[in-house]
Structure 1
């Protein structure tokens, strides 16, 4: 009989990833905060310069912010249909906002279509 509980293998993977995450954080903090002269004296001479301990997170945050503020909105704008597209047309079966007269006060209102011009007017002109 199948159960909704995760398999035992998933718990092993999760524990290994948990240990790997904390080990990586500890190694990063040692690399970033312990002087390289001390690390070289105990035989660790193959580490990158400490400059990269600050440069790599800064680069990652810069790339993330570039994606969030420029690339992601640009992708959404490319996926938006034009006002003259067939998917924005209305017909006799369209339920508009003005046809909703018997809305129940206690429940969730039924879904209805808003005209694209009204949506744009409310979003961008007020």
Structure 2
């Protein structure tokens, strides 16, 4: 007796495909990828939760900042808020932050200028990855020449190609 799942005729292939179709879920492709169609199988990703909590807390902190900065002291006292920082900090903290960002960018650009070699240095032309072209010419038969090995173009060749008059 043969194995019921062995495939030896077209009729058996059709019967196996009918059995497989019966187990296909009724979810659309969109529902399977989004995870909303099935309850309990998929939950929110941690990055989504952190992003949601971060956006909500940013909005709340911004509203609290603007309420503290713009409402008069008498209104804050009427709602029961008596302890809060001086209103001068509403201008000082953003100003300190902006100056810090500008100084950090200036420091970063200056550090890059300091670590770059001067234009007259040979380190701008040659480094440890430079390859000199091979000087030996391989012997070939006929008109075909082999592909040259990969190498850097010398600065004299670049200057000749760029700055000499080609007429």
Residue 81 (structure 1) shift? 2.7
CA contact (8 A) 2:125 2:155 kept: no
Match of 2:55 in 1: 18
Query: Which residue pairs with 1:104 in the alignment?
Result: none
Which residue in the other structure is 1:43 paired with?
A: 80
- Which has more radius of gyration? 2
CA distance in 2 between partners of 1:97 and 1:84 (Å):
11
Matches within 5 A, 1:104-123: none
C-alpha distance in 1, partners of 2:155/2:46? 52
Equivalent of 1:71, from 107, 113, 116? 107
CA distance in 1: counterparts of 2:67 and 2:112, whole angstroms: 41
What is the aligned length? 96
Aligned residues: CA RMSD: 3.1
Gaps of 5+ in 2: 1-32, 34-43, 134-150, 160-167
Greater shift, 37-46 or 12-21, is seen at: 37-46
Give 5+ residue unaligned stretches, structure 1.
Answer: 100-113, 116-126
Deviation at 1:88, TM superposition (A): 3.5
